[in-house]
Structure 1
Amino acid sequence: MVEQQSDADIDRVFRALADATRRDIVRRTLVAEQSVTQLAAAYAMSFAAVSKHIAVLAEARLITKRAEGRVRLVRADPAALARAQELLRSYEHLWRGRIDRLDALLAEPEATVPRAGAAAATASRAETPAATAPIAEAPDATTARAEQLDAAAPSAQNPDATASTLRATRAARTAAPDAPASTPPTEP
């Protein structure tokens, strides 16, 4: 189970781990406790720059610092890394579930996919000259479709809207596969 952490704590952890130097400092201090001076010697940057990286990691609680005489020792906190890893696992589980549901919806037979608007009526009719004629209002229809997709876009409150959007898009594509991308200009 993921321990409850504030958004600010989570942001601090992943912001700290976003930098390659800080990830390397964590890796080195997981193996063995090291002094700030030893860590600074391992990088082509100033002692102050390494100290700032260490401060960011300490603020995120990914490492602990302690004084031993005049030497400052740094050690990674495996429990903090385990919490970050568990949080990533929970996100992985959440997104795998969503992707599995999306795969299941996309695998449904075409007959169960609802068709949208005039395109559905055209597709359900037999091939007639009227059914195969170019669509005169294509630019406006494209704009209307884009607005419809924007309205159905997934949000934090409705993450499953993606499936209905994909179904509608697939239905529109299969309803008029031969429709031109745009209408030819008409002469006055």
Structure 2
Amino acid sequence: MLSSLDPRIARLALPDTAPAPTPKAAFDQFETFEVFHQKKDGAAYTYVGPVHAPSADVAFLFAKEQYSRRFACTGMWVVPTSAINLTPYVGDQESVYDGVSAIVPTADAPAEPQEYAIFHLKKRGKAHTNVGLVRAASAADALYQAKLTFGEQRPVVNVWVLPWNEVLTLDPADRDIWLTTPEKKYRDAIAYKVQDRIERFKLETGTK
């Protein structure tokens, strides 16, 4: 019997030569999607986290519930994790673009360029933020086009390249999904007037 200092293991009475674990069946879990969030009109979309879902539409609903219930949101993008192309990381004072060169077109390159969304990570520990779109024949070419367009921005620790045709966005007509019904205003964080209490505390204590 397998011995262990953990009594839970001891109670299982496992043999010393336990059989190898059986591999999981393929596609036994939901796909992973990455979520990008816009806090207010005109603001850049910023990465907020992943969700697991059976489809992009369901992923969008999960993302809405997970990342926008308690704070302001005017837009959201959802993209399959598998569609994201990313660069290696560099130092916090460096730029990924310093090592990016032009891509030589190949015979299997698409006839028409497509749009790619470019996301920069300015510092480790922060979130990737959208800096714009480029048109390119491939993800590698998109990275080079991003260098030509956004390469002067420094530092750039890491870059994500997303094919725009893989990104699920919100129709402007559906932005009311974030509105709270009048009878449930208590769900809005602003209803708690926490900021008013903070400002009052600062005045009373002289805190800046």
**TM bin (shorter chain):** under 0.3
TM-score between the two structures when normalised by the length of structure 2: 0.21
TM-score between the two structures when normalised by the length of structure 1: 0.22
Q: Which has the higher helix share?
A: 1
Between structure 1 and structure 2, the one with the greater Rg is 1
